[in-house]
Structures are given as C-alpha cells and as structure tokens.
Chain A
C-alpha cells in the first residue's frame, strides 16, 4: 500500500465527448452537411415523422439517416423505402449516442454527398440529453399520449433542444393533455425553443417543420 499515491485528475466526465463533438461540427460545416439529432421516448413517432419529412424534402436535397433506435432493423427498412440513404448503427444496448458513435455513422453515410443528415437517437429522454453528438441542431418529439408533465420530469432534455415537436396532435381530444401548459413549461426551461404541434399521421404541422429545416439547412450550408 505504501507506494500508492493520490493523483489529481479533476476532469469533467463529458469533456472528451464535448471536444470530439465540436470537432465533428466543424467537419460537418466544412462538408456542408447539416446534422439533426432527433430524440424522444420510444414510440413517440420518430420514424413516422422522419418518413414524412424525407418525402417532403427529398426532391430538394440529398438526405441521409443514421438509425440507432432499438427497433432499428425495422426502422431502417421503413426509411429505406423512402429512397433516402440509411445506415444502421449497432449501439450494443447503449442508452445514448455519443460523438464517437455519431462519427462512425457519418463515415458510413459519406457526408460529402449528403446535405441533410438525420440521427434517430436511442429512444430515451435522459441519457441522450447529456451527450453532445456533434449535431448542428437538436430536436425532440413529445407525443400527446406521454402526457403534459414531461417537461417537469425531464428538464435537461427540454432545455437543450432547439425544436420541440408535439406529435400525435390528431388524438389530443382523447387525452388529458394541456398543450398550452406544455408550451409554458418548455418555454420556462428554454426561452428560445421553437414548438411545433404536428401529426405525423395526418400531416398537420409538417409544413412548418419542413420549413424550419429548409431554413436551417440553407443557413448551415451557405
């Protein structure tokens, strides 16, 4: 025991990942690839929303998708049907994606030809919020059946995203879901958040969402 000594490390656990994420963002900017990190609980509609989004935008830009959700063999297939380039990441049961795994996915896609890349993150509202993936922008989906108290339970997620999509708005009348309360709770955590109610089923609100993407892709790639 006598040879043991105390060695100070004093390092933020997220520092390595943050550094890699920043360098990834720089590369994406150089390659003119806008990367969107899409997060949500399982089943809130990421894959369905992506399908609608790709169909609206595929004639204007080259789109690539990195699939990391648990059901992803099914999801990757669904996305493949749209004609977008899709790559499947094997996360080995990890609860989140970090910048290193995202980089692997981007290498697989080949960002040189992609204008708009989307990362379907692991379905979970906690861990993905802690890890910067290197994305240009972050979005989350909250679906009506999950309840209007989610911003209170997962404050970090709501405070780091640029856009909040409130999905399954077509079934709102069947749920005790207070849309205004959600907006207020989210704005309190994140005054700059953009909130768009959508239905990936009926297409309601998708135009506004797609417009937001168009503007951001143009800004990033100009």
Chain B
C-alpha cells in the first residue's frame, strides 16, 4: 500500500507543526493532490483512519483538494488540461508544452486550536 507510507509522512510533518505552534486539538486536515501525482485520493481516504490512529490526527476530518494537471502550449501559449486533452494542445494540436501544475502533494492547512 503505497499511500500508507505517504500518509505517515504527512502525520510526521503535522506533528512537528502542532508542537511548534502549541496546538492541542486538530479538527480538519486539508491536503492538495495534483491530478498527475502518483497518489490516488480514494486510497488516501481509505487508509487515513488506520494511518493516523494513535496520533494527533486521530478522529480528524480529511479534506482533499485536487490540483488540475495543466500545461502551457509552447507554440500558441494556450493553457489547457493535459488529461482532458490527451496530452495535446486543443488549439494547435502541439505536443510541445511546459507543465504548470498537477504533480503536487501538499499539506495545505489544518483547522485546529
């Protein structure tokens, strides 16, 4: 289970942040996951309760925001979604583009006190 190891990494980071900011209780964790990252949101949600059991994130709500896999065409400057357009610029059909977003795996924020 590839996602489990990654969630454990998330827990470590949040624990450090919580200690540094003297937080006592966390209510919600918000992650941002790129459409092109190798992480699958559904699997993360599935393994989350087990991965956070016994940690500061136990019984917290997990929210996941998806970041689109967008690129900019080097030939005509159009910004487009790579997945929806099968890796080709919808305007000029060029495969010559630069990736703008979509590979992220971020801890965005937490709701805590």
Interface residues of chain A, those whose CB is within 8 Å of chain B, are 1, 3-17, 94-96, 98, 124, 126-127, 129-131, 156
Contacts and interface: CB of A to CB of B under 8 A. Distances in A.
Interface residues of B, number: 26
B96 interface: no
B67 interface: no
Nearest to B29: A9
A11 B106 contact: yes
Interface in B93-107: 104-107
7 contacts: A4-B112, A5-B112, A7-B21, A7-B109, A12-B104, A12-B105, A13-B6
Contacts of A131: 5
Nearest to B33: A13
B66 interface: no
Nearest to A95: B5
* Main SS at interface, chain A: mixed
B107 A156 contact: no
B19 interface: no
Contacts of A5: 111-113
Leading 4 A-B pairs by shortest Cβ distance: A3-B113, A127-B2, A126-B2, A9-B107
B10 interface: yes
A191 to B, nearest CB: 16
Contacts of A12: 104-106
A124 B40 CA distance: 17
Q: Interface residues of B: mostly helix, strand, loop or mixed? A: mixed
A11 B27 contact: no
A186 B70 CA distance: 24
B56 to A, nearest CB: 13
B13 interface: yes
Given A95-B1, A127-B5, A10 B107 contact: yes
Interface string B16-27: 010001010101
Nearest to B112: A7
Interface string B38-49: 100000000000
Contacts of B111: 4-7
Given A6-B109, A7-B112, A13 B9 contact: yes
Contacts of B14: 9
Contacts of B27: 1, 4
B104 to A, nearest CB: 8
B4 interface: yes
B57 to A, nearest CB: 12
Nearest to A97: B5
Given A95-B4, A127-B2, 18 more contacts: A4-B25, A4-B111, A5-B111, A7-B21, A7-B110, A9-B107, A9-B108, A9-B109, A10-B106, A10-B108, A13-B13, A13-B106, A14-B105, A15-B13, A16-B9, A16-B13, A17-B9, A124-B2
